[in-house]
């Protein structure tokens, strides 16, 4: 119930050890905050993000509990110019944090009039 309420507030607390999701974007503007509670003794967090856009822009950011930027990227597609047979833009990030700091890690997912897909996979151990 608490997690459902949090989701309605456009935030989500990830309580599972593994989370995989794909978001289909259709001229979408989203602003999602995923909170990842890390407790003592956790050995690593594995992040994987993949974004394909044909239009608009998507930003992915990871912040540690102390507010330090841990990683992130931005993908924008402003034209329909075809290069190499593929249009649009693509961003992909694989990042692993060993012995992460305790506290709530924050994943920010933002898009602005974006069309495409945003996938992520987060694993904890």
Partner 1 sequence: MLDSSWAKQVYICAIPEFNQMYTASDELITGRGVIDSAGYFTLKFSCKQEPLLYRLHVIKKSDPASTLIIGGKDENFVFFIAKAQDYIYLKHINKNMPLSQNDVQNTPANKELARLFSILNYSSNQKVRTDRERLKNQLIDLADSSSSQLVSLLAISNTFGLSDRQKERIANTVEKFNRQNPYGANIFEQYKKTGPGYILVIAALLLIVTGVFVIIAIQTRKKNTALKIFKTLSQRETTIIKFIADGKSNKEIAAELNVELSTVKTHVNNIYTKLNVKGRKDVLAYKALFKKYGL
Smallest distance, partner 1 to C-beta of residue 95, A: 5
Contact between 99 and partner 1 per CB under 8 A: yes
Q: What single string gives the DSSP state of each residue in 46-96? A: EEEEEEEEEEEEEEEEEE-TTS-EEEEEEEEE-----BTTB-SEEEEEEEE
Rg over CA atoms, the chain: 15
CB 38 within 8 A of CB 65: yes
Between 12 and 91, CB nearer to partner 1: 91
Between 5 and 98, CB nearer to partner 1: 98
Answer for which of 14, 19, 32, 76 binds partner 1 (CB under 8 A) is 76
Between 11 and 63, CB nearer to partner 1: 63
Contact between 41 and partner 1 per CB under 8 A: no
Binding residues for partner 1, per CB under 8 A?
66-79, 81, 83-84, 86-101
């Amino acid at each position: 119930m608490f997690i459902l309420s949090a989701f309605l507030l456009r935030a989500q607390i990830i309580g599972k050890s593994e989370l995989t999701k794909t978001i289909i974007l259709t001229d979408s503007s989203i602003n999602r905050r995923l909170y990842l509670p890390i407790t003592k003794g956790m050995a690593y967090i594995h992040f994987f993000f993949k974004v394909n856009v044909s239009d608009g822009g998507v930003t992915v950011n990871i912040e540690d509990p102390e507010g330090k930027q841990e990683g992130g990227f931005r993908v924008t597609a402003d034209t329909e110019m075809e290069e190499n047979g593929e249009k649009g833009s693509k961003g992909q990030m694989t990042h692993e944090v060993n012995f992460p700091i305790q506290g709530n890690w924050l994943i920010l997912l933002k898009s602005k009039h974006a069309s495409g897909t945003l996938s992520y996979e987060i694993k904890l151990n």
